[in-house]
Structure 1
Amino acid sequence: MAHTAQFTAAEAAFVLREPVRTVKKALDAGPVRPVLLRRAGASVRAIGWSDLFYLYAVRALRDELTPKARTEFYQALQQTPIDRRDEVRFGRFRISISDLVEEVERRTTDLTVLAEKVAFRADGEPLLKGREIEVYRIAALLDGGASIEQVLEDYPLLSRKEIETAQAYADAYPKAGRPYPRTSVKRALQGAGLEALDEA
């Protein structure tokens, strides 16, 4: 399998199951070499598959690699494409990587599957596939402190899985520009003691 995709910090965070700020710190610290990509009209840092694999592998092997060994491991990964070998050798180390490669491939496939659960409106706004509900609207409610149960009350046609998809998509592909409100109109009315207007 050829590994040619590029991953933003947010996409890498989804794959690594790490906070975005942790991934950004790792990009700043090196030895990975991010490049600048144009996405949605903005420049963002991105890394290739081998750098993503390195970030995953050093977390999996964190107790076994010294800082010097991590740098040597990274340099060894750059010498031969990962998909052409089962182990990496450097210094006195021989590290079997086939299970680590399989896990990163599975997680990057999860990222692809997540993107397939979203459709796009003519203006480019992502919607939950089969629904006319904006992904970022649902994610904003969750970010604002609403529970999944509360979102289900406001959007009874959605399933729990669709709400989780909206949150995961918004995490992996953060919204550019003005954010959605972090509370629904219904909850805003209730908070203001105007429930009767909602029922009228």
Structure 2
Amino acid sequence: MVHATHYTAAEAAFVLREPVRSVKKALDSGPVRPTLLRRAGMSVRAIEWRDLFYLYAVRALRDELTPHARVEFYQALQRQPSERQDEIRFGRFRVTVGDLIEEVEQRTTDLAALSDRVTFRADGEPLVKNTSVEVYRIVALLDGGETAAQVLEDYPSLSLADIETARAYAEAYPKAGRPYPRLSAKRALRGAGLEQLDDI
């Protein structure tokens, strides 16, 4: 399977199903050595697939590997040829990793599939596919306390699957810059007692 070249901390967090801050802490503590990439005009830390796999594997094997063995495991991963290996050997250890590789590959496939479920406006803003609704607008509403049902009420062109896609996309690709309002225009009008303007 062909893997993406690099993964940001947010993308890695999506794959690992962990908070971004936990991934950043793991990158700070080593032995993974992230590189700096330019994305959307900003410098971000990113790791390769092997590093991502290491972070996943050491969590799955935390009870079996001592801190020193984790470093040896990482070094052994870096020495592995690029083709898939179902076993990693280091020191006196042999660790079977075929099932772990499959899990990470499935999760990275899920990450890649997110891009197929959005489209992009000319200014680069991601939209829910087949709609004109911004991904980050949906997530801002959810973060502001609206339920999925309320979002669907305000944006009837959306489906529940669209809302889940928006949530997942924003998790993997956090919005840079100014956030969207946490209240839809319709709900703001209703809150101000101006709901009759909805029909104008």
Provide the TM-score with structure 1 as the length reference: 0.95
- Give the equivalent residue in structure 2 for 1:57: 57
- Structure 1 stretches lacking a partner, 5+ long: none
Indicate if the aligned counterparts of 1:50 and 1:82 stay in contact, CA closer than 8 A: no
Secondary structure at 1:83 match in 2: coil
Secondary structure at 2:142 match in 1: helix
Partners in 2 of 1:171 and 1:38 — Cα distance? 19
Query: Shift of the alpha carbon at 1:156?
Result: 1.3
Partners in 2 of 1:83 and 1:101 — Cα distance? 12
Q: How many residue pairs are counted as aligned between the two chains? A: 200
- Give the equivalent residue in structure 1 for 2:180: 180
- Give the equivalent residue in structure 1 for 2:190: 190
Partners in 2 of 1:151 and 1:14 — Cα distance? 23
- Give the equivalent residue in structure 2 for 1:107: 107
Matches for 1:60-71 after TM superposition, within 5 Å: 60-71=60-71
Instruction: Show structure 1 runs of 4+ deviating over 6 A.
Output: none
Equivalent AA in structure 2 for residue 16 of structure 1: L
Deviation string for 1:42-84 (max 9, x for gaps)?
A: 0000000000000000111111111111111111111113634
Indicate if the aligned counterparts of 1:127 and 1:135 stay in contact, CA closer than 8 A: yes
- Give the equivalent residue in structure 2 for 1:81: 81
Partners in 2 of 1:79 and 1:157 — Cα distance? 50
- Give the equivalent residue in structure 1 for 2:141: 141
Query: Shift of the alpha carbon at 1:198?
Result: 3.4
Partners in 2 of 1:84 and 1:122 — Cα distance? 39
Query: Shift of the alpha carbon at 1:2?
Result: 4.3
Partners in 1 of 2:65 and 2:144 — Cα distance? 40
| Alpha-carbon spacing, 1:121–1:52, altered in 2? closer, same or farther (3 Å) | same
Note the aligned Cα RMSD (angstroms): 1.4
- Give the equivalent residue in structure 2 for 1:26: 26
Query: Shift of the alpha carbon at 1:192?
Result: 2.8
Partners in 2 of 1:162 and 1:104 — Cα distance? 24
Equivalent AA in structure 2 for residue 93 of structure 1: F
| Alpha-carbon spacing, 1:4–1:117, altered in 2? closer, same or farther (3 Å) | closer
Partners in 1 of 2:138 and 2:3 — Cα distance? 32
Partners in 2 of 1:4 and 1:139 — Cα distance? 26
- Give the equivalent residue in structure 2 for 1:154: 154
